[in-house]
């Protein structure tokens, strides 16, 4: 199953928690210094859901597609 | 639900030490629960303060056993303890300076402590101390 990954970059505090937990889906945007999904959709996985759950700002949303 | 639960594979064969290692698992779970609740930053200083106290008391118990019974790898083990204590102090400094990536960094440090230090370094002294009548 795939998910669309949405990040509210206004709320993202650049902590990199999502990048550490799920580097196959998230990366840091060097210009914005915010997290961003590597692609619009990603395979739903335990690490992806954990990254969403552990985000301190709760600014990542998954939409099943 | 707890991230980690105590398993026999973590045991070094000495009850007092195992009981202290269970405290480390409790700290990992405490931080994990706080991060899931979006309160990782608030939980950091309490966890790190516990960890700093834990280093003093737990490492002290282990090192006293090493010295008393002449554990041959005492010097190397004490060096690892010193490095871990230095790292904990550095993490406390980073929290105090407001570094925002710290929750997951501390979590990974604690999990690495469990996986590497307890499962590899600490496991070495279990049979030696058991042979000296410590269990």
Distance of CA B91 to the CA centre of its chain: 14
Q: What is the pTM of this model?
A: 0.87
Q: CB-CB: which of B100, B103, B108 is closest to A14?
A: B100
Residue A13 touches partner B, C-beta closer than 8 Å: yes
Each of the 135 residues of chain B gets a pLDDT tens digit; together they read: 788 999 999 999 999 999 999 999 999 999 999 999 988 888 999 999 999 999 999 999 999 999 999 999 999 999 999 999 999 999 999 888 887 678 888 999 999 999 999 999 999 999 999 999 999
Place of tokens 């269990």: B135
Task: Report the greatest alpha carbon distance in chain B.
Answer: 47
Instruction: Go through chain B and tell me how many residues it has.
Output: 135
Residues B44 and B31: their CA atoms lie apart, in Å, by 7
Residue A14 touches partner B, C-beta closer than 8 Å: yes
Residue B36 touches partner A, C-beta closer than 8 Å: yes
Structure confidence by residue, pLDDT tens digits, A6-64: 999 999 999 999 999 999 999 999 999 999 999 989 999 999 999 999 999 999 999 99
Residue ranges of E strands in chain B: none
Residues B66 and B81: their CA atoms lie apart, in Å, by 13
Residues A52 and A58: their CA atoms lie apart, in Å, by 7
What number is the ipTM of this complex? 0.78
DSSP A13-31: ----HHHHH-TTTEEEETT
| Phi, psi torsion values for A36, nearest 5 degrees | -150, 150
Closest-CA residue in chain A for B3? A50
């Amino acid at each position: 199953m795939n998910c669309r990954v949405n990040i509210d970059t206004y709320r993202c505090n650049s902590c990199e928690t999502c990048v550490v937990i799920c580097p196959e889906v998230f990366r840091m945007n060097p210009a914005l210094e915010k997290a961003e999904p590597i692609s619009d959709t990603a395979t739903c996985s335990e690490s992806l859901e954990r990254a969403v759950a552990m985000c301190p700002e709760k600014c990542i949303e998954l939409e099943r597609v | 639900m707890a991230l980690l639960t105590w398993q026999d594979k973590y045991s070094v064969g000495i009850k007092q030490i195992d009981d202290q290692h269970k405290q480390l698992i409790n700290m990992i779970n405490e931080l994990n629960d706080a991060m899931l609740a979006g309160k990782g930053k608030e939980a950091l200083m309490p966890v790190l303060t516990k960890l700093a106290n834990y280093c003093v008391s737990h490492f002290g118990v282990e090192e006293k056993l090493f010295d008393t019974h002449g554990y041959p790898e005492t010097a190397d083990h004490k060096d690892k303890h010193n490095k871990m204590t230095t790292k904990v102090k550095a993490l406390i400094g980073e929290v105090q300076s407001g570094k925002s990536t710290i929750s997951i960094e501390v979590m990974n440090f604690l999990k690495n402590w469990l996986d590497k230090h307890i499962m590899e370094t600490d496991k070495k002294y279990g049979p030696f101390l058991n042979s000296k009548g410590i269990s």
